Structure 1
Amino acid sequence: MKKFLLLLFISHFTFAQKTAFELDSNTTCTYPELIAFYQTLANNYSSCKLYTEGPTDSGKNLHLLVISEDGTFTPQAAHQKGKTVILVNNGIHPGEPEGMDAAAMLARDILKKKSLPIDIVLCIIPVYNIGGMLNRGVSRVNQNGPKEYGFRGNALNYDLNRDFLKTDSKNSHSFQSIFQKWKPDLFMDTHTSNGADYQHIMTLIDTQNDKLQPALQSFGKAYTESLYKRMKESGYDMVPYVNGFKGAPEDGIVSFLETPRYSTGYAALHHVVGYMPETHMWKPYPQRVRSTYALLQHFINPSPEQIKQAKAARKAAIEEVKQQKFFPLTWKVDTTRYEKIEFLGFVSGQKKSEVTGLNRLYYDREKPFTKTIPYYNSFVADITVEKPKAYLIPQGYTKAIELLNLNGVKMKPLDKDQKLLVEVYYIDQFRTSPTPYEGHYIHSDVKLKVTTQEIAFSKGDWIIETGQEADRYLVEALEPQSSDSFFNWNFFDAVLGQKEHYSAYIFEEEAYKLLQDNPDWKKEFEELRAKDEKFRNSSRAQLDWIYKKSPYYERTHMRYPVFRLR
């Protein structure tokens, strides 16, 4: 009986160590199967622990598997011992599930073989978008397997890979908590691509090198090159993510600029080299899973020298940012510089559609080619700002303050009511999306008027001194011209609405008096009337011009409510 029970246990344990994908290669795991698999790993291997982390919008909590050969299972211990921490995120888009299957198999194999380098702590989020994974179906018509999979949107229908800076979801809040506790040195977020057809199974987005601190640039470039080299040796000719090409991909591709709304863009704000693999959606699912497994395997097995470099480069970058004076807020591609890369494509062309009767694009898989193509991988700063000595933000802006706290920004409350002379932004021009995007009508192309004012602050308002590790996050979140600033994501839209107005028939007399009492105004007013026909023919525009110069006009209208201490 004892032998029978032992054999039964071994048989059950062996079966439990097989993923759904390994049992049927066109299948991906369900949520219960995935978490049960990781729980079995945690129950049977002493070199890992499965933690329950913060909540998600699905009502279920995130999980985090931590693997360490010497039992370093807490961020405090990892930092104290100088371990290199690697974080892998899976299932941000559960309709792109190969990362979930590959990471599960790799975690098991590492634990079985005891193959994780002793100086590394590996953290794996089994699935990030739990709500999307539970919403199982066949929503990706242009994807070759598996049979069923999750949905892109989360439980609140947010695309979570647009939510890292704005943080509308509980998922994002919990992820940032994990990220800030563990402070990884390397990060990867697994995906599947859409777009053109080509021979490559795996494409890769790496953190745009020009965005990184100088101390990280050489390390990031070398680490990326080593991933390409090792993937080629494994039989996978990897290519940069096929993005932004004009015409066919062989005419040239442009490096994907991942702003802070994306996972790797968020990681870059905290001086972490990040990667976003994108397997080609029309390759068979088994090929996509195995290529992801190979890339993850290479990613988490740096050489002993690279392990040391990752930690040292990030540490140096943190010291650099504290001293940095000028920060880029937006970037543009440098079309004068490019690399030459080998691209394995298919001949494309146009033919008559059997559906519409019009011309349609097609790729001929019977005609593969290999070409050297331009890869535009250089960006230059477009808008740049000098960081202030400190920012001041009124205590009422609770969401912004909470996110600053969550991201390790050091702040202190004012200890008394006081007036301070500060630099003030007025929003002079901006564009707003005419349709909603991820729950927001986002702003862009912000133009500012800058002035200096004495502003009354209250006890408890927050002063945030610069010269800290979180400076880059701080600047890109609070400077309104930044591509993914809090302003652009509508955190401060209330200031864009005028609260007090005037009745024209009453204000007429006061307007006349104001012009008489202010000759300079009157002169400017008459000059404007003389040269601007539209202004001259609009009584409303003329009264409004006078009103906005008068003491009655509210100074808070269009005034950005985050202030700069120079």
Structure 2
Amino acid sequence: MHLLIKYARKVLPIFFFLNATAQLTPYEKDPQKNTTATYQEMIDYYQTLAKKYPKQSKLFTCGKTDVGKPLQLFVLSKSGEFSPEKLKKSGNAIFLINNGIHPGEPEGIDASMMLARDLLAKNALPDNEVIAIITAYNLGGMLNRGESRVNQNGPVTYGFRGNRRNLDLNRDFIKTDSKNSYSFQEIFNSWDPDVFLDNHTSDGADYQYIMTLIDTQRDKLTPILGKYMKEKFTDELYKRMATKDYKLIPYIDFPGETPESGIEAYLETPRYSTGFAALHNTIAYMPETHMWKPFQQRVESTYQLMVYLKDIIHEQGNTLLATRRKAKDYVKNQTTFPLRWKLDTTKYANIPFYGYEAEHKPSEVSGLTRLYYNRDRPFTRTIKLYDRYQASLTINKPKAYIIPQCYDKAISLLQLNHVKLMPIKQDTIVHAEVYYIKDFPTNTQPYEGHYLHHDITLEKKMMDVPFYKGDYMAFTNQESNRYLIETLEPEGVDSYFCWNFFDGILSRKEYFSPYIFEDKAAELLKKNPQLRTDLDNAIDKNPSLKNDAHGQLEWIYQHSNFFEKTYKLYPIARIL
């Protein structure tokens, strides 16, 4: 049956029964259920909850954001303990919920307010699980309230996608240009969540589903955690949501004009919240409610997903904690790490798809043919789901990395993500493997404030490298190996190098004056006949060099001892 019709005919018993004195959200107060809370309404709401239920809830004021206001973390703990260290020692699982990373997608903000209230009002907190809610992440975007999403069906007004610096914060988890990201990472690494949820709204094709779901691509996780997440969490979420007429489907990303061409599972790299969580062996989900469904359906489906995820965490209990421990131990001892991935098109599943017929008609704007989805013609068809990835590039980890102290942002982020760094106690020379950056294609247009490098190719060399007192060594026998390796290996898709942390090495600092170097170049050729032979061979391979006097001088200069050895030399050494 058509999902929207089923929903309209059935009143879903989602929320706990509340008495007349219950604290209602702005969403609930609106008869049309088309209102999302403002920043001040949200803060006032949580402050009231914290005062009303001081033994089981606490509102933490965390680090600053780019708009100057701090992140707020609302923690629900049945035991009344609010220290993450003590909670984890006593066997509690941590469920971290993030809302409003894109404030124009506010369902999670309103649904989390109701969830927190309902759990407290009914004394329904689980006894082995702590729920931590980032009330809203992108506060600058939330305060920039208006109507900026033309493709979205409500609420009446809402926040803006970009933050105060006009950054998309769901691209900022590695480069960390925003204060928001730094503060988030402080929260994430302090609480070390076992399960992470980041609430969103989708854009794209039209279909019957109210919600699609991005689950951490399981091939990117350890075999231990990936299999466990799929069987005990993802599959269970699909089963339980279907019982409430909220059938799930993977995030609908397709190669053709319409979803019937098949769905390709989304690969969330470390720049995204769930990709960042994967670096820490955390099970992570990103629900995407459909932008054209009524706001009420989007809020209530988000609420229900959080309830079920909370329940599954409670049911899994010690098994969840033990599985994550095994995954961390696996990563600590792992020797080979994937850096890039490609879709495995040889593996797919046939799944039912509840869609609408895609049709074409003349555009009233241009008069040309346009695509539209006919909601009067719903259908169910079998389509292909491609949800497996293969590593397209792997790296053998070194024994350790050495990081010059001058790269303070990289060092700060490594430490923030619990990478153990050991300062070098005296100046030294280290025989190590180093990389020369051979090729680094760069985006011609800025992307989130950066000209991103990609498809890096390297030349490896062993050489003696000077390091100095205060530089850092990072051994690769750590639980944080994935964060360490995927950020420091230049070929990683979201490495620090790709995000321009080391661009100083990509330009030369010394040059020659031709009228002076002419005599020195002639001298070099006379003293080294092999150099002359190599130059002649270079000219044979590149005939244009024959009539290029400066080009020949440049070739000799680059092949002489005068040419700077630091040009394109990646500054982080690998101890093998």
TM-score (norm 2): 0.95
Q: What is the letter of the counterpart of residue 261 of structure 1?
A: R
Q: What is the letter of the counterpart of residue 174 of structure 2?
A: L
Q: Are residues 1:72 and 2:81 paired? A: yes
| Structure 1, 275-284 or 40-49: larger mean CA deviation | 40-49
Query: Structure 1 residue 533: deviation in Å?
Result: 1.7
Query: Structure 1 residue 247: deviation in Å?
Result: 2.3
User: In the alignment, is the contact (CA less than 8 A) between 1:95 and 1:149 conserved in 2?
Assistant: yes
Match of 1:445, SS state, is: coil
Q: 1:61 to 1:439 in 2, by over 3 A?
A: same
**Residue equivalent to 1:530:** 540
**Residue equivalent to 2:6:** none
**Residue equivalent to 1:35:** 43
Query: Structure 1 residue 352: deviation in Å?
Result: 1.4
Pairing of 1:398-547 with structure 2 (within 5 A) = 398-547=408-557
**Residue equivalent to 1:270:** 280
Q: What is the letter of the counterpart of residue 130 of structure 1?
A: L
Q: What is the letter of the counterpart of residue 27 of structure 1?
A: T
Query: Structure 1 residue 16: deviation in Å?
Result: 7.1
- Structure 1 moving runs of 4+ over 3 Å: 13-16
Q: Are residues 1:63 and 2:72 paired? A: yes
Match of 2:454, SS state, is: strand
Q: Are residues 1:21 and 2:27 paired? A: yes
Provide the C-alpha distance between the structure 2 equivalents of 1:199 and 1:363, rounded to a whole number of angstroms: 11
Q: What is the letter of the counterpart of residue 276 of structure 2?
A: Y
Query: Structure 1 residue 175: deviation in Å?
Result: 0.5
Provide the C-alpha distance between the structure 2 equivalents of 1:152 and 1:301, rounded to a whole number of angstroms: 31
User: In the alignment, is the contact (CA less than 8 A) between 2:129 and 2:313 conserved in 1?
Assistant: no
1:372 to 376, 382, 390: 382
| Structure 1, 538-547 or 50-59: larger mean CA deviation | 538-547
1:197-237 deviations in Å (ceiling 9; x for gaps): 00000000000000001220121101100000000011111
Query: Structure 1 residue 312: deviation in Å?
Result: 1.1
Q: What is the letter of the counterpart of residue 299 of structure 1?
A: L
Two-structure CA RMSD over aligned residues (Å): 1.2
User: In the alignment, is the contact (CA less than 8 A) between 1:72 and 1:121 conserved in 2?
Assistant: no
2:192 to 173, 183, 206: 183
User: In the alignment, is the contact (CA less than 8 A) between 1:429 and 1:447 conserved in 2?
Assistant: yes
Match of 2:60, SS state, is: strand
Pairing of 1:12-411 with structure 2 (within 5 A) = 17-24=23-30, 25-45=33-53, 46-222=55-231, 223-302=233-312, 304-411=314-421
Q: 1:303 to 1:412 in 2, by over 3 A?
A: closer
Provide the C-alpha distance between the structure 2 equivalents of 1:135 and 1:294, rounded to a whole number of angstroms: 28
Q: Which runs of 5+ in 2 are unaligned?
A: 1-18
Match of 1:32, SS state, is: helix
Q: Which runs of 5+ in 1 are unaligned?
A: 1-12
Match of 2:268, SS state, is: coil
Match of 1:432, SS state, is: coil
1:339-368 deviations in Å (ceiling 9; x for gaps): 121111001022211111222111111111
**Residue equivalent to 1:549:** 559
Provide the C-alpha distance between the structure 1 equivalents of 2:416 and 2:121, rounded to a whole number of angstroms: 36
Provide the C-alpha distance between the structure 1 equivalents of 2:49 and 2:277, rounded to a whole number of angstroms: 28
User: In the alignment, is the contact (CA less than 8 A) between 2:401 and 2:575 conserved in 1?
Assistant: yes
**Residue equivalent to 1:8:** none
Query: Structure 1 residue 305: deviation in Å?
Result: 4.5
Match of 1:383, SS state, is: strand
Match of 1:178, SS state, is: helix
Provide the C-alpha distance between the structure 2 equivalents of 1:245 and 1:205, rounded to a whole number of angstroms: 17
Provide the C-alpha distance between the structure 2 equivalents of 1:365 and 1:217, rounded to a whole number of angstroms: 37
TM-score (norm 1): 0.96
Query: Structure 1 residue 307: deviation in Å?
Result: 2.1
Q: What is the letter of the counterpart of residue 61 of structure 2?
A: T
Q: What is the letter of the counterpart of residue 133 of structure 1?
A: M
1:540-559 deviations in Å (ceiling 9; x for gaps): 32221111111111100100
User: In the alignment, is the contact (CA less than 8 A) between 2:254 and 2:261 conserved in 1?
Assistant: no
Match of 2:504, SS state, is: helix
Match of 2:303, SS state, is: helix
